A and B are shown apart, each in its own frame.
Chain A
Amino acid sequence: MRLKVYADRMSQPSRAVLIFCKVNGIDYEEIKVDLSKNQHLTPQFAEINPMQQLPAIVDGRFKLFESHSILIYLASVFPGVADHWYPADVFKRSKIHSVLDWHHNNLRRGPVAYVLHTTLAPTRGLPLNPQAAAEAEKFISSSLSKIESIWLKGNERFLLGGNNPSIADLSLVCEITQLEVLDEKDRNRLLGPHKKVQQWIENTRNATQPHFDEVHNILMRVKERLQNQRLKGANIEGGSSTKKPSVSRM
Chain B
Amino acid sequence: MKLKVYADRMSQPTRAILIFCKVNGIDYEEVKVDISKGQHLTPEFAEINPMKQLPAIVDGRFKLFESHAILIYISCAFPGVADHWYPADLFKRSKIHSVLDWHHSNLRRGAAPYVVHSTLAPVFGRPLNPQAAAEAEELLSKSLSKIESVWLKGNGRFLLGGNQPSIADLSLVCEIMQLEIVDEKDRARILGPHKKVQQWIENTRIATQPHFDEVHKVLMKAKEKLQNQRLKKANGGGGSGMGKLSHSRM
Residues of A that sit less than 8 Å from B by CB: 50-51, 62, 64-69, 72-73, 76-77, 90-91, 94-95, 97-98, 100-102, 104-105, 108, 146, 149-150
Contacts and interface: CB of A to CB of B under 8 A. Distances in A.
A100 B101 CA distance: 9
A142 to B, nearest CB: 11
B64 A69 contact: no
> Looking at chain B's contact residues, is the secondary structure mostly helix, strand, loop, or mixed?
helix
Contacts of B150: 50-51
Interface residues of B, number: 30
Query: Which 7 pairs of residues, A with B, have the shortest CB-CB distance?
Result: A104-B104, A97-B69, A69-B97, A101-B66, A66-B101, A98-B69, A98-B66
B82 interface: no
Contacts, number: 75
B131 interface: no
A13 B128 CA distance: 35
Given A50-B150, A150-B50, A104 B101 contact: yes
Interface of B: 50-51, 62, 64-70, 72-73, 76-77, 90-91, 94-95, 97-98, 100-102, 104-105, 108-109, 146, 149-150
Given A64-B98, A90-B73, 7 more contacts: A64-B94, A66-B98, A72-B97, A94-B69, A94-B70, A102-B65, A105-B108
A98 B65 contact: yes
A69 B98 contact: yes
Contacts of A65: 98, 102
Given A51-B146, A68-B97, A91-B62, A76 B102 contact: no
Contacts of A95: 64, 69
A94 B98 contact: no
Nearest to A64: B94
